[in-house]
Amino acid sequence: MSVINLVLLLFFPVIIPLASSNSSSFTYNGFKSSNLTLDGLAQITSNGLLRLSNVTKQQTGHAFYSIPLNFKNSSNGSVLSFSTYFVCALVPEFQPLGGHGMAFVIAPTRGLPGSLPSTYLGLFNDSNNGNFSNHVVAVELDTLKSTEFQDINDNHVGIDINGLVSKVAKPAAYYDNRIGSFQNLTLNNRRPMQVWIEYDSIVNLLNVTLAPFQVEKPSVPLLSFSYDLSLVMNQTMYVGFSAAPLLTSTYVLGWSFSINGKAQELSQLPKLPRFGPKKQPKILTIGLPVISILSLFLGVSIVAYHVRRKWKYSELLEGWELDYVPQRFRYKDLYVATKGFKDKELLGTGGFGKVYRGVMANSNIQIAVKRVSHESRQGMKEFVAEIVSIGRLRHRNLVPLLGYCRRKGELLLVYEYMPNGSLDKFLHDQPKCTLNWDQRFRVIKGVASGLLYLHEEWEQVVVHRDIKASNVLLYDHGSDPQTTHVVGTLGYLAPEHTRTGKATTSTDVYAFGAFLLEVACGRRPVEPRASSETAVLIEWVLSLWSRGEILGAVDLNLGSDYVKEEVELVLKLGLLCSHSRPEIRPRMRQIVMYLEGTVALPDLASLGVLESELHFAYSEGFDDLRSSYPSSSQTMFSGSSYITNSLIFTGR
């Protein structure tokens, strides 16, 4: 008895919360008895850790000190000096994938209503990002490079004032007092790190200092930013943390804060949970004879079991693949996750193979697994290299590719699961529920921004090759997930593409044009059953446009509930993007500007979008297509690498 107690004491040190608080300073060594207001995924674990997010859901999590703090000298309105110190840890599920970080926040409200997850860090949203009326000061520990917010890299610390474009940012590093120089620090390395944030109101200097856990406080801060916070902050403000990462658990172990004083040291912090598989339970002591008989019996069945299992779960792994091990999933795990690739878990079937829904056993993460049959070994190395490089793409409007697995004659691609299915289901064949114009316009802008990222903002130019409604998955829309039917790519292929077989950014723009018309008209690019004048969507819209009746093309399901100017813009832009001459099609950056309304769409007639010219070109293009139908798009691309078309957009 006493031995057991001793063991418990050794392994579970008693945490004595030393929480002291008055209006201007507090110290939490662990959060067991803390006064925090939590929302979203934020929780206090049983051993006193503050967990802002967990890996199973991507949602915001906030934790704020419940009591508002008086940040300003009431007699002259200038912000008082303050200092805060905390220990936190970012624990990604899959290294090196998984990202977004967390932020320390000073905000006028407890919680940040309306804020978005992922790249928005749970701080802002599309509409209020950058607005001075936010009155928000944040220090972000960001592990993702979002080009839309001009991030410097995927491991940086920045000071954000009212918006996500940091006023100042540096790659995460700490000054090592012994060596006398800066050392790099990986933020999401699953280990605790210390952060000090100090503001000196005399010289208006905001310092941010980082260091690994149990390292002496560096004498030189990482960031030292000169700014008068009196211009941003209100008289009383709340302090706290925000996080909304993808597949990452975010923890705060302890936190101290002080106005007009130095934040206190922390001690006896709670421990982070062990990462990785749980320890095997101990085998109980049973009589030796029983064990020996059982073990003989077991031995035989284990051998038989392993032989079967080895065959059932066999994978292909070659020497050149060893670099990609972090992105590899074990076949066995995928098999278990999809309940043995049961038909019940089937999400859809397409030219490239079947897609299954699954739940990873030890983390409860929902995934979608695409099984692509791949007979030839030729080009496999390039193929896998491409998957891995695509796994590094990160954009709000691209569904993350988490990794892959390879077996004989088969390749499995693993994606994050999007619960609401693909866009085409909400557009065609008497949908149970349609999208209103606002939602459609948001989806269009999202896909445009994802495509701009692929074409112009990533380190290499990525041509998608298969833009279509069934490759756009939806978030945040109430509807049961159902089987998706991946439609053929007929009608999205640029005329020059069918001639040369070469995919370019310009053929992507063509497909995007077809997609725009599809979303606005609620019709597929080609309806083989329709009459000959209306069978090809582009021709039909073009003829309506030339008669000055372009709005006649609008999806009847929308009724009259749409913004006329936006619909007209989308339809005309669709025609322009789908111009038969590639040099006339706009680039994605221009398209995004047209959609945002920052630049007006030029007059189509002046660009030579003449019906007669186009009509001819399209007929030619579609005759090519008709003759090549029913050969699938897969054979069309064979020989070239085609993995990029497995990228899927989200309409969030």
Q: Per-residue string for binding with ligand NAG, 354-393, x by CB under 6 A?
A: ----------x-----------------------------
Nearer to ligand NAG, 16 or 300 (CB): 16
What is the spatial distance between Cα 514 and Cα 497, in angstroms, rounded to a whole number?
14
DSSP E strand stretches across 30-136? 36-40, 43-44, 50-53, 61-65, 69-70, 82-92, 102-107
DSSP E strand stretches across 172-324? 173-176, 181-184, 193-200, 205-212, 223-226, 236-243, 248-259
Q: Per-residue string for binding with ligand NAG, 410-429, x by CB under 6 A?
A: --------------------
What is the spatial distance between Cα 562 and Cα 571, in angstroms, rounded to a whole number?
13
Site for ligand NAG in 48-67 (CB under 6 A): 54, 56, 66-67
* Per-residue DSSP letter, 498: H
> How many beta carbons lie within 10 A of that of residue 276, not counting itself?
8
Supply the minimum distance, in Å, between the C-beta of residue 448 and ligand NAG.
Answer: 18
Helices (H), ranges, 159-287: none
Q: Is 624 a catalytic residue?
A: no
Window contacting ligand NAG (CB under 6 A); options: 10-18, 72-80, 524-532, 603-611: 72-80
Q: Residue 588: which of 511, 645, 494 has the closest Cα?
A: 511
Supply the minimum distance, in Å, between the C-beta of residue 24 and ligand NAG.
Answer: 5
131 contributes a contact to ligand NAG by CB under 6 A: yes
Q: Residue 240: which of 386, 67, 399 has the closest Cα?
A: 67
127 contributes a contact to ligand NAG by CB under 6 A: yes
Nearer to ligand NAG, 131 or 295 (CB): 131
Site for ligand NAG in 199-228 (CB under 6 A): 200, 202, 205, 207, 221, 224
What is the spatial distance between Cα 619 and Cα 389, in angstroms, rounded to a whole number?
38
SS3 473: strand
Strand order in the sheet with 353-359: 401-407, 410-416, 366-373, 353-359, 346-350, 484-485
> How many beta carbons lie within 10 A of that of residue 118, not counting itself?
21
Site for ligand NAG in 515-574 (CB under 6 A): none
Supply the minimum distance, in Å, between the C-beta of residue 314 and ligand NAG.
Answer: 31
Q: Which of 15, 17, 18, 21 touches ligand NAG (CB under 6 A)?
A: 21
What is the spatial distance between Cα 603 and Cα 609, in angstroms, rounded to a whole number?
9
Q: What would the two tokens of residue 211 be? A: 């260091």
Nearer to ligand NAG, 108 or 212 (CB): 108
Site for ligand NAG in 289-328 (CB under 6 A): none
Site for ligand NAG in 73-92 (CB under 6 A): 73, 75-76, 78
> Total number of residues binding ligand NAG (CB under 6 A)?
41
Nearer to ligand NAG, 133 or 606 (CB): 133
Site for ligand NAG in 433-472 (CB under 6 A): none
370 is in an annotated binding site: yes
Supply the minimum distance, in Å, between the C-beta of residue 68 and ligand NAG.
Answer: 9
Q: Per-residue string for binding with ligand NAG, 249-268, x by CB under 6 A?
A: ---------x--x-------
Window contacting ligand NAG (CB under 6 A); options: 68-76, 88-96, 330-338, 622-630: 68-76
Q: What would the two tokens of residue 474 be? A: 């939806």
What is the spatial distance between Cα 467 and Cα 562, in angstroms, rounded to a whole number?
24
Contact (CB, 8 A) for 143 and 152: no
What is the spatial distance between Cα 280 and Cα 308, in angstroms, rounded to a whole number?
24
Q: Residue 141: which of 84, 92, 88, 177 has the closest Cα?
A: 88
List Cβ neighbours of 289 (8 Å cut-off, separation of 6 or more).
none
Q: Which of 38, 41, 161, 588 touches ligand NAG (CB under 6 A)?
A: 41
Residue nearest ligand NAG, CB atom distance: 114
Residues forming beta bridges with residue 139, ordered by sequence position: 104, 159
Q: Which of 151, 154, 160, 466 is catalytic?
A: 466
What is the spatial distance between Cα 368 and Cα 359, in angstroms, rounded to a whole number?
9
Residue found under tokens 């370019």: 504
Supply the minimum distance, in Å, between the C-beta of residue 345 and ligand NAG.
Answer: 21
> How many beta carbons lie within 10 A of that of residue 605, not counting itself?
10
Q: Which of 7, 13, 16, 35 touches ligand NAG (CB under 6 A)?
A: 35
Supply the minimum distance, in Å, between the C-beta of residue 76 and ligand NAG.
Answer: 4
What is the spatial distance between Cα 576 and Cα 571, in angstroms, rounded to a whole number?
9
| Structure-derived torsion over alpha carbons of residues 147, 153, 154, 156, reported in degrees to the nearest 10 | -120
Nearer to ligand NAG, 226 or 376 (CB): 226
Residue found under tokens 């802008």: 445
119 contributes a contact to ligand NAG by CB under 6 A: no
**Angle at CA of residue 43, ends 37 and 44, nearest 5°:** 90
Window contacting ligand NAG (CB under 6 A); options: 107-115, 349-357, 399-407, 473-481: 107-115
Q: Looking at the annotation, which residues are catalytic?
A: 466
Known binding residues for ATP are 370
Which residues of the chain form contacts with ligand NAG (CB under 6 A)?
20-22, 24-25, 35, 41, 43, 54, 56, 66-67, 73, 75-76, 78, 108-109, 113-114, 125-128, 131, 133, 135, 153, 171, 184, 198, 200, 202, 205, 207, 221, 224, 234, 258, 261, 364
